[in-house]
Copies of this chain bind each other. A is one copy, B any other.
Amino acid sequence: MPSHRPVIDGARLRKTLDGINAFGHNPQTGGYNRQGFSDADMAVRRWFEDEARADGFKVRRDAAANVFVRYGPENSPCIMSGSHLDTVPEGGAFDGALGVAVAWEALRAMRDAGMTPKIAVEAVATAEEEGRFGGMLGSQAITGQVTRDWIEQAADASGETLVAAMRGQGLDPYAVLDAARPAGSIKAFVELHIEQGPVLEANGNPIGIAHSVSGVSYIAVRMEGRANHSGTTPMHLRADAFRGLTDVAVEIPNLIEKTGTDQSRITIGKVDLEPNFPHTIPGFAEFTVIIRDTDETVMRALTDAVKASIEAAARRHGLSHVTETKSWLVPVALDNRLAELLSEEAGAMGLAALPMPSGAGHDAQTMQSLCPSALIFVPSRNGISHAPEEWTDWSDIEKGAQLVLNALVRLSCETG
């Protein structure tokens, strides 16, 4: 029996997060650089393992460099919580790292309270979640979704292959194929992550509970007109590739109104004109369109509507165009019952938890293929993430951490 109800130690949690963020910090920018399988990423994993071992926990690492810290019975299924330790280039202090620190803090709080769980709990620090190599390698390894073909083809934006990056760290990339955890060995997965969006802040909620993760339809478009002189070419004799793009961009709100939902997001994030000279009418416009929704049917309808809009804009401005589907990720529904359990626990704590979709991808969506999975959000100031300005207030972090702890206690100690 526990000596007291376990409670998060905020100072200790903060110390863990600071410890993680001693790795990969760039003092010039304030950003963090622990890209998957970089030296800083490998170093932070060793540090995390050493800290957990020194504190008396059993630690294991798999072939994908996922680190597992375990508390409770040996050789039995577990409840798992955690997130990733890798970052995007010049990322923030909270993305991923916070979920790892919170999970380990939850284990320490249970131990300190003298709890002996019926089902073991594991804190996981997953590998390569940010997609340097185009996937979520760590959680995909755990859930058995990595294929030999993918390992052989994966490469980062600079052209370095996954195989070379892993071998450079003394790792065997093909061993990742054997890292899958068997079905039934993980009973549930709970991830805490920063929201990376402005919704909780705008609504005044300290906690969000994701019911689903949006799918992503990624289109790359190249429109071609004629790069003529801006002074000598009358407006009606132009074939301005940028005008084609702008017609597509301004149509987006109408497409969402007609075909989308409140969860729809359509973004033109990358635009490259040629020749991109002030005095020349753009001859080429290359751009990306990212279409997201939590409903795949809606996502498909929006994608078709965007393509029709591109077609119409090209015709209107005398342009030719090529549209390429770069990727299609289906939406994922997270576990309803686990989300309800979290809502109940939040309610018991007096927290107004907002049910919401996740617009970004997370390990929880991959884990859902293996076990019931849940995703807890804490607010991001100004919705900023993947940048040094990323911030979550410590009062919100402690609420979220306590919610993770309470959920893990309920799942590991109070259920059969």
Interface of A toward B, CB cutoff 8 Å: 195-199, 202, 214, 216, 218, 226-235, 237, 240, 242-243, 245-247, 249-250, 253, 256, 262, 264-273, 276-282, 288, 290, 292, 358-361, 380, 382-387
Asked if residues B280 and A231 are in contact (CB atoms below 8 Å), the reply is: no
A198→B232 CA distance, assembly (Å): 8
**Which B residue sits closest to A257, measured CB to CB?**
B235
Least distance between A279 CB and chain B CB atoms (Å)? 6
User: Which of B197, B279, B358 meets A269, CB within 8 Å?
Assistant: B279
Asked if residues B235 and A256 are in contact (CB atoms below 8 Å), the reply is: yes
A273→B273 CA distance, assembly (Å): 11
Asked if residues B386 and A229 are in contact (CB atoms below 8 Å), the reply is: yes
Asked if residues A246 and B235 are in contact (CB atoms below 8 Å), the reply is: no
Asked if residues B265 and A233 are in contact (CB atoms below 8 Å), the reply is: yes
Asked if residues B247 and A199 are in contact (CB atoms below 8 Å), the reply is: no
Least distance between A325 CB and chain B CB atoms (Å)? 13
Asked if residues A232 and B271 are in contact (CB atoms below 8 Å), the reply is: no
Asked if residues A281 and B267 are in contact (CB atoms below 8 Å), the reply is: yes
Asked if residues B359 and A232 are in contact (CB atoms below 8 Å), the reply is: yes
Asked if residues B237 and A383 are in contact (CB atoms below 8 Å), the reply is: yes
User: Which of B227, B234, B246, B270 meets A278, CB within 8 Å?
Assistant: B270
A199→B232 CA distance, assembly (Å): 8
Asked if residues A234 and B197 are in contact (CB atoms below 8 Å), the reply is: yes
Least distance between A361 CB and chain B CB atoms (Å)? 8
User: Which of B214, B268, B279, B385 meets A290, CB within 8 Å?
Assistant: B279
A234→B249 CA distance, assembly (Å): 16
A197→B195 CA distance, assembly (Å): 52
Question: How many copies altogether?
Answer: 2
User: Which of B253, B271, B358 meets A242, CB within 8 Å?
Assistant: B271
Asked if residues A229 and B279 are in contact (CB atoms below 8 Å), the reply is: no
On chain B, the residues within 8 Å of A271 by CB distance are 242, 271, 273, 276, 282
Asked if residues B262 and A282 are in contact (CB atoms below 8 Å), the reply is: no
User: Which of B198, B272, B288 meets A233, CB within 8 Å?
Assistant: B198
Asked if residues A229 and B385 are in contact (CB atoms below 8 Å), the reply is: yes
A58→B256 CA distance, assembly (Å): 73
**Which B residue sits closest to A360, measured CB to CB?**
B231
Asked if residues B292 and A202 are in contact (CB atoms below 8 Å), the reply is: no
Given A242-B271, A279-B267: A387 in contact with B250 (beta carbons within 8 A): no
On chain B, the residues within 8 Å of A214 by CB distance are 231
On chain B, the residues within 8 Å of A202 by CB distance are 237
Asked if residues A231 and B276 are in contact (CB atoms below 8 Å), the reply is: no
Given A264-B235, A276-B271, A278-B269: A382 in contact with B226 (beta carbons within 8 A): yes
A256→B238 CA distance, assembly (Å): 15
User: Which of B230, B249, B269, B380 meets A277, CB within 8 Å?
Assistant: B269
Asked if residues B235 and A359 are in contact (CB atoms below 8 Å), the reply is: no
User: Which of B234, B256, B262, B290 meets A262, CB within 8 Å?
Assistant: B234
Asked if residues B233 and A359 are in contact (CB atoms below 8 Å), the reply is: yes
Least distance between A362 CB and chain B CB atoms (Å)? 10
Asked if residues B228 and A278 are in contact (CB atoms below 8 Å), the reply is: no
* 24 A-B contact pairs sorted by A residue (CB < 8 Å): A195-B232, A197-B233, A197-B234, A198-B232, A198-B237, A226-B382, A226-B384, A228-B383, A229-B359, A229-B385, A230-B290, A230-B292, A231-B358, A232-B359, A232-B385, A234-B265, A235-B265, A242-B268, A245-B246, A267-B278, A269-B281, A270-B276, A270-B278, A271-B271
On chain B, the residues within 8 Å of A227 by CB distance are 387
On chain B, the residues within 8 Å of A384 by CB distance are 226, 228
On chain B, the residues within 8 Å of A250 by CB distance are 243, 246-247, 250
Asked if residues B279 and A231 are in contact (CB atoms below 8 Å), the reply is: no
